Structure 1
Amino acid sequence: MVRSDVVIFVSAGMISPKKRDHPLARRQLYLNYGALSLATVLQIGGHETVLVHGEHQAPAVVLEDLRAAGRFPSCYPLMLSIPSFYALPWAQRFCRLAKTADPECKIVVGGRWVVGPDMAWFRTMLPEADQLAPGLSEPYIQDLLTGSPILERTAVPTPSFTLNHTLVSGYLNYQPSIEASRGCGMGCLFCEERDIPVEKLGDPSTVARSMALVREQYGGGEIHPYFQSSMFLPTTRWAARLADEVRKSNMRVTWRTETRVDVMVPDTLAALAEAGLRVIDLGLETASPTQIMAMNKTPMPDRYLRKAEDLLEACRKYGVMAKVNVLLYAGETETTIRETEAWLDSNASSIAGVSVGPVIAYGPPKTADILIEDWARRGARPVEHDSAVRTGITKMHLSDEFDAATAEVASLELSRRYMDSDSYFALKSFSYYPRDYHRVDFDADVLASDPAALPFRLAACGEAPAPGPTKIQQA
């Protein structure tokens, strides 16, 4: 059997979208920047590497494409990254196919949120895996090519190099990523990084150089990088320095990031807008004081919501589109969701869109049960009691008043209240749709989708707008 000398990284895809299955959901692309970081390390070290995303392609198609390109089989292990529990069924099929095609293929499997929580459980789910990498693997990736090093789930600092997006198969379709920092440590009960301290941001000049290098990788074309950070937490001075660096280099690159609603002050946002920030994902989660404290977000809900209002007003003032994330939580009731709705209504003119969904316990019983037990004390219960051990995904009835079906209806209604097709397209096309995906393509996919599954308004001709209309700030 002829083997290539290419190190193959595969980012596991999904059999179907994780929320609702319709053509628009299948268009979305998520760059696996963690796997790309590892591929970049090996490329810098002199190896030929490639990163292939499974997306919503059949595992057999991805494997056949690798074989047709002369990359599979390889003399090196096959590196499989599983970015979420929703990708696990795809990974299972892919591994079985790879082992059938090449029984000698060694498969190294990573994905710290999926592999790390309980490796014994994970081995039962993916017995074809020869080596498991439970954490961040930049320090070990070279050794994984030739051996079986002892790996740990420890914190690893943000790499100092710029991700090489040209290693991604079909990279021109993807919006690029710049990893800004790792960790969060704010203690929210539902968050995987609640106990991992946030890392200090790198020097603004280094970030600006990365932006310039990424633009070169894309041939100078229009890009909208995502500054990857669980909680982007720059100081006003840092943001001002980044704006200065961007001005000096005459870069016109607009970008996106995410943060909590209570950690960034308006002056910082103003400087970031000067540096090119155009879309920000804000983790509000809820505006109900009861639910804010239940999530362990803060013991001072009033202060939390005042800071959120100040930040949203700054977004409106400085032309930054604010996409607000809302999480329907354990113990949710008609009263708590109306509290959130009323608060969103009062700030609707500063909101570009809202993403809403019910809380889910991710992970095997070893980790999921801790959350489920806390949520049970608030009146929630699993939809299926064995789903953690079977899939690593436990959907919840949030309360006696809010079962899973009611929560799904409420999620869609709340999203549509603040988001129409224009705002949805503006937000998704900035970061997640293919770079050559245009409004005419979007409109065709909308027509092919079930309107009942779409999280935005489709207003009929002459229909008045829904309460709490969205007001998009133009870039």
Structure 2
Amino acid sequence: MKRSNTVAFISAGMLTPKKRDHILARRQLYLNYGALSLATILDAMGTETVLVHGEHRGPAEVLRSLLEQGVLPSRYPIMLSIPSFYALPWAQEFCRLARSTDPDAKIIVGGRWVVGPDPDWLREKLPEADLLISGLAEPQIASLLTSAPDLRILPAPRPDIALNHTLVSGFERYQPSIEASRGCGVGCAFCEERDIPLEKLGAPDQVASALAAVVAQYSTSEIRPYFQSSMFVPNVKWGTGLANAFRASGLNIHWRTESRVDVLTPETIACLAEAGLRVLDLGLETASPTQILNMNKSQHPDRYLNKASTLLKACNDHGIATKVNILLYAGETTKTFDETRSFLDDHKGSIAGVSVGPVVAYGPPKTADILLRDWYRSGAMPVDPDSAYKCGISTMHLSRDFDAQSAEFASLELSRRYMDTEAYFNLKSFSYYPRDYSRADFDRDVAASDESQLPFRTS
């Protein structure tokens, strides 16, 4: 059997979309920048690499394409990245097919949110995998190609080199990523990074240099990068430095990022707007004082909401579109839901859109049970008590007021209250739809969709 000299990274796709299965959800693209970081490191060392995203294609189609291109079989291991538990069924099917196609293939599986919580549980779900890699693999990625892989969990600060997007199969369709920082550590009860310390942001000159490299990769400035950071917390000095670095480099790029509602000041927002920030995903999560405390978002709900109000106004004043994330949480009641809706109503003019959904416990029993025990005390319970073991995704009945079905209905209702077709397209097309996906394409997909599944008003 002839084998290639290419390291194939596969980002596991999803058999069905995360929230609701409709055409628009299947159009979305999510760049696996963690896997791309590993591919970039190997490429810089002279090893031929490629990153293929499963998206919503079937595992068999992805595997067949790799075989037809001669990427597989390879003399190197297959590097399978599982970015979320929603991608696990896809990964299971891909591993079965890859093993039956090439019994001698070595399959290495990564994806810290899926592997890390309980490798023994995942090994049971993926018996074809030869190695499971917990944590971030940049320090030992080269060793994984050898007969003596380094399996230690090592510190992995953000690499200084720019991601090489040309290694992504069909990269022109994806909006690029700039990794600004890692970690968070603020301690929100539901967050997977609650205990991972926040790293310092990359220096403005480094960010500008990385972005200039990405512009060269795409051969155009018509890109909309996402500055990846679990909690983007620049100050005025950093924002001013970024604007100056962009001007010095001749960069005029509009970009997007995410942050909390209580960590950015109006002065910083003004600097970031000057540096090209145009869309900000804000983790408000709730405007109910009770739920703010339950989520451990803040010990001072009034202060938290005042800062949220100030930030929303500042973004609106400086031309930054805000997409507000809302999480219906364990113990949600009609009263707490109404408090959140009232806050959103009061700030409707400063909100470009919302993303709403019920909280989910991710992970196998070893980690999920910790959350579930806490949520039980709030009156919540999993729809299927065995779901943590079965798939690592525990959907919830939130309370007597909000069983799972009611929570889904309320989520859709709240989304449609603040988003019409235009707002939804503007937000999604900025970062998540293919770069060549036009408004005409979108309108055709809307017309072919079941409107009851769409999170925006169509009339």
| TM-score, length basis structure 1 | 0.96
The farther-off stretch of 140-149 and 36-45 is 140-149
CA contact (8 A) 1:116 1:153 kept: no
State the shift of 1:301 in Å: 0.2
CA contact (8 A) 2:327 2:356 kept: yes
Distance in structure 1 (CA, Å) of the matches to 2:241 and 2:272 = 10
| Correspondence for 1:93 | 93
Distance in structure 2 (CA, Å) of the matches to 1:273 and 1:5 = 45
| Correspondence for 2:9 | 9
| Correspondence for 2:224 | 224
**SS of 2:109's equivalent?**
strand
| Correspondence for 1:471 | none
| Correspondence for 1:473 | none
| Correspondence for 1:464 | none
CA contact (8 A) 2:362 2:392 kept: yes
CA contact (8 A) 2:221 2:253 kept: no
CA contact (8 A) 1:365 1:389 kept: yes
State the shift of 1:458 in Å: 1.1
Deviations 1:157-178 (A, max 9, x none): 1110000000000000000000
After superposition, the CA RMSD in angstroms is 0.7
Alignment length (residue pairs) = 459
Distance in structure 1 (CA, Å) of the matches to 2:23 and 2:153 = 37
| Correspondence for 1:215 | 215
| Correspondence for 2:297 | 297
State the shift of 1:153 in Å: 4.1
Distance in structure 1 (CA, Å) of the matches to 2:113 and 2:258 = 19
Q: Which amino acid aligns with 1:321?
A: A
Distance in structure 1 (CA, Å) of the matches to 2:328 and 2:153 = 30
Distance in structure 1 (CA, Å) of the matches to 2:386 and 2:50 = 38
Q: Which amino acid aligns with 1:448?
A: A
Q: Which amino acid aligns with 1:80?
A: L
Distance in structure 1 (CA, Å) of the matches to 2:333 and 2:112 = 34
1:190 aligned to 2:190? yes
Distance in structure 2 (CA, Å) of the matches to 1:363 and 1:413 = 28
1:286 aligned to 2:301? no
State the shift of 1:150 in Å: 4.2
**SS of 1:252's equivalent?**
coil
State the shift of 1:401 in Å: 1.4
Runs of at least 4 residues of structure 1 off by over 4 A? none
State the shift of 1:202 in Å: 1.4
The farther-off stretch of 167-176 and 213-222 is 213-222
CA contact (8 A) 1:67 1:73 kept: yes
CA contact (8 A) 1:4 1:71 kept: yes
Query: Structure 1 residues 168 and 353, CA, compared in 2 at 3 Å: closer, same or farther?
Result: same
Distance in structure 2 (CA, Å) of the matches to 1:252 and 1:205 = 15
| Correspondence for 1:362 | 362
| Correspondence for 1:82 | 82
State the shift of 1:448 in Å: 0.9
State the shift of 1:147 in Å: 2.8
Deviations 1:255-306 (A, max 9, x none): 0000000000010011001000000000000000000000001110000000
State the shift of 1:151 in Å: 2.4
**SS of 1:331's equivalent?**
coil
Query: Structure 1 residues 109 and 18, CA, compared in 2 at 3 Å: closer, same or farther?
Result: same
Q: Which amino acid aligns with 2:48?
A: E
1:129 aligned to 2:158? no
Distance in structure 2 (CA, Å) of the matches to 1:183 and 1:299 = 21
Query: Structure 1 residues 75 and 198, CA, compared in 2 at 3 Å: closer, same or farther?
Result: same
CA contact (8 A) 1:131 1:148 kept: no
CA contact (8 A) 1:23 1:449 kept: yes
CA contact (8 A) 2:176 2:214 kept: yes
Q: Which amino acid aligns with 1:109?
A: V
| Correspondence for 2:59 | 59
CA contact (8 A) 2:78 2:105 kept: yes
| Correspondence for 1:348 | 348
1:439 aligned to 2:436? no
Distance in structure 2 (CA, Å) of the matches to 1:311 and 1:273 = 13
State the shift of 1:249 in Å: 1.9
**SS of 2:309's equivalent?**
helix
**SS of 1:139's equivalent?**
helix
**SS of 2:138's equivalent?**
coil
Residues 33-72 of structure 1 correspond to what in structure 2 (within 5 A)?
A: 33-72=33-72
Distance in structure 2 (CA, Å) of the matches to 1:398 and 1:154 = 38
Distance in structure 1 (CA, Å) of the matches to 2:401 and 2:357 = 16
Q: Which amino acid aligns with 2:62?
A: V
| Correspondence for 1:247 | 247
Distance in structure 1 (CA, Å) of the matches to 2:77 and 2:159 = 23
Residues 163-178 of structure 1 correspond to what in structure 2 (within 5 A)?
A: 163-178=163-178
| Correspondence for 1:321 | 321
Q: Which amino acid aligns with 1:98?
A: A
**SS of 2:185's equivalent?**
coil
Distance in structure 1 (CA, Å) of the matches to 2:428 and 2:33 = 18
**SS of 1:79's equivalent?**
strand
State the shift of 1:155 in Å: 4.0
1:427 aligned to 2:411? no
**SS of 2:426's equivalent?**
helix
Deviations 1:425-464 (A, max 9, x none): 00000000000000000000001110000000111xxxxx
Distance in structure 1 (CA, Å) of the matches to 2:233 and 2:73 = 43
Distance in structure 2 (CA, Å) of the matches to 1:413 and 1:3 = 53
State the shift of 1:250 in Å: 2.1
Query: Structure 1 residues 125 and 27, CA, compared in 2 at 3 Å: closer, same or farther?
Result: same
Query: Structure 1 residues 18 and 148, CA, compared in 2 at 3 Å: closer, same or farther?
Result: farther
Distance in structure 2 (CA, Å) of the matches to 1:308 and 1:154 = 37
Deviations 1:115-153 (A, max 9, x none): 110011010000100011111000010000013434244
Distance in structure 2 (CA, Å) of the matches to 1:126 and 1:102 = 16
CA contact (8 A) 2:293 2:301 kept: yes
**SS of 1:394's equivalent?**
strand
Residues 382-421 of structure 1 correspond to what in structure 2 (within 5 A)?
A: 382-421=382-421
**SS of 2:244's equivalent?**
helix
Distance in structure 1 (CA, Å) of the matches to 2:151 and 2:122 = 15
Distance in structure 1 (CA, Å) of the matches to 2:322 and 2:148 = 45
Distance in structure 1 (CA, Å) of the matches to 2:121 and 2:422 = 44
1:111 aligned to 2:111? yes
Gaps of 5+ in 1: 460-475
CA contact (8 A) 1:135 1:152 kept: no
Distance in structure 2 (CA, Å) of the matches to 1:363 and 1:127 = 18
**SS of 1:7's equivalent?**
strand
| Correspondence for 1:467 | none
Distance in structure 2 (CA, Å) of the matches to 1:51 and 1:29 = 14
1:205 aligned to 2:202? no
| Correspondence for 1:469 | none
Q: Which amino acid aligns with 1:263?
A: V
CA contact (8 A) 2:421 2:457 kept: yes
CA contact (8 A) 1:326 1:356 kept: yes
| Correspondence for 2:451 | 451
